Structure formats: C-alpha cells, structure tokens
Amino acid sequence: MTRPTWDQYFIEITLAVAKRSTCLRAQVGAIIVKDKRILTTGYNGAPKGLLHCLDVGCEIVDGHCVRTLHAEQNAIIQAALHGVSLAGGTIYSTHQPCHTCAKMIINAGLQRVVYVGDYPDSIAMEYLRLAGVQVEHFERAT
C-alpha cells in the first residue's frame, strides 16, 4: 500500500467536492486547508436561493456562465460566513484560478494555490506571483 502525500490526499478530496457542482459547463471544486485540516469547501453553483444551471440552463455572457459563483469564491465565502480565518492557508482547486478568484485568494491571506486543470488566465498567474502566493500545478498520476 502506498500512502498518498498530503497534496494527493487533498486534491482527491477536491475532485470529489467538484461532483457537487450545479453548472452544466464545468464541474469545479475547491477546498481550503491550514495545518493539514480542511477549513472550507466550495464548488461552482448559483448563489443561495437562486436557480441552478441544472434547473434552468447556463447564463452565458462573453463565453462564460455568469449564473454561478466559482468554487474558490464559494470556499472563501464559507469561511467568511462561519468566521474562519484563512490567513496562511492553502487552496486546492480542480482548475487554475481566474483573475477574480486570484484577487480574492490574495486578499484572504492564502499563501499557496495547488490546482489540477488548466484555465488560461495569465493575469491571474501574474497577480498571484506579484503577491508572493506560491502556485503549484499538480500533475495527477494516471
């Protein structure tokens, strides 16, 4: 038996969280971890009380579904709702963060981003670099 590394362990949990997504276009999950403890989780879906893409379809503007909050946003919002400090933590995501999520990650005090899937947003990567946030593209074993 080979025991997974902490990153492997948390990425696998993140992939499971993504299965709760309610957007038809992409299933994205995120978890925030500090001191090897999961603080919050998030997946992409409509704001609380609003209809989900699964119910009424995606709302596309400029090639993006605007009905949903991103998984990273939902994970950060969950921390705010429950009074949990994220400072110094790591966010794991099934996709590279977009520039809006990158700004939220920076302001939430997260120090590390670990992601699996690509998302072409060079602005996000530059913001994270300039803010000194460590970014790692996790390669899953096949």
Question: What amino acid positions are annotated as catalytic residues?
Answer: 72
Cβ-contact 93, 121 below 8 angstroms: no
CB contact burial 94-125 (16+ within 10 A = b; e otherwise): bbbbbeebbbbbbebebbbbbbbeebebeebb
